[in-house]
Amino acid sequence: MKITKTLFGKTNEGYTVDLYTLSNDNQVTVKITNYGAIITAIETPDKNGELANIACGFEKLETYLSPEYLGIYPYFGCICGRVCNRIAEGKFTLEGKNYSLAVNNGPNHLHGGIVGYDRRLWTSEILKENDIIGVKLSYLSPDMEEGYPGNLRVTCTYTLNNNNELAMEYGAETDQTTIVNLTNHTYFNLTGGSETVLNHELELPAKLVTEAVGNIPTGNIVSVEGTPFNFLDKKKLGKDIEALPDGYDLNFVLENTEGHLVFAGSLSEETSGRMVEVHTTQPGIHLYTGYWIPELTIDGLKKFGRYSGVALETQHFPDSINNPHFPPVTLAPGQHFYEKTIYTFGTK
What are the pLDDT digits (tens) for 7-31?
999 999 999 999 999 999 999 999 9
User: What distance in Å separates the CA atoms of residue 37 and residue 185, rounded to the nearest whole number?
Assistant: 10
User: What distance in Å separates the CA atoms of residue 304 and residue 19, rounded to the nearest whole number?
Assistant: 22
pLDDT digits (tens, 9 = 90+) for 147-204: 999 999 999 999 999 999 999 999 999 999 999 999 999 999 999 999 999 999 999 9
Q: Report the number of distinct structural domains present in the chain.
A: 1
User: What distance in Å separates the CA atoms of residue 242 and residue 223, rounded to the nearest whole number?
Assistant: 20
pLDDT recorded at residue 260: 97
User: What distance in Å separates the CA atoms of residue 118 and residue 112, rounded to the nearest whole number?
Assistant: 9
Q: Residue 235: which region, alpha, beta or left (left: phi > 0; alpha: psi -120 to 50)?
A: beta
Average pLDDT, stretch 336-343?
A: 98
pLDDT digits (tens, 9 = 90+) for 110-144: 999 999 999 999 999 999 998 999 999 999 999 99
User: What distance in Å separates the CA atoms of residue 271 and residue 39, rounded to the nearest whole number?
Assistant: 25
Catalytic site residues? 185, 313
Band (pLDDT 50/70/90 cuts) for residue 335 is very high
Average pLDDT, stretch 47-61?
A: 98
User: What distance in Å separates the CA atoms of residue 337 and residue 321, rounded to the nearest whole number?
Assistant: 16
Query: Is the peptide bond prior to 82 cis by the omega test (within 30 degrees of 0)?
Result: yes
Q: What percent of the chain has pLDDT over 70?
A: 100
Band (pLDDT 50/70/90 cuts) for residue 43 is very high
Query: 307: closest CA among 323, 287, 329?
Result: 287
Q: What is the pTM of this model?
A: 0.97
Decide: helix, strand or coil at residue 243.
helix
pLDDT recorded at residue 345: 98
pLDDT digits (tens, 9 = 90+) for 199-240: 999 999 999 999 999 999 999 999 999 999 999 999 999 999
Terminal-to-terminal C-alpha distance of the chain: 24
pLDDT recorded at residue 148: 98
127: CB partners within 8 A, 6+ apart:
133, 134, 135, 136, 157, 159
Band (pLDDT 50/70/90 cuts) for residue 253 is very high
pLDDT recorded at residue 292: 97
107: CB partners within 8 A, 6+ apart:
88, 89, 214
pLDDT recorded at residue 195: 98
pLDDT digits (tens, 9 = 90+) for 59-102: 999 999 999 999 999 999 999 999 999 999 999 999 999 999 99
pLDDT recorded at residue 329: 98
pLDDT recorded at residue 234: 98
Q: Which domain holds residue 151?
A: 2-347
User: What distance in Å separates the CA atoms of residue 160 and residue 258, rounded to the nearest whole number?
Assistant: 26
pLDDT recorded at residue 128: 96
CATH number of 87's domain: 2.70.98.10
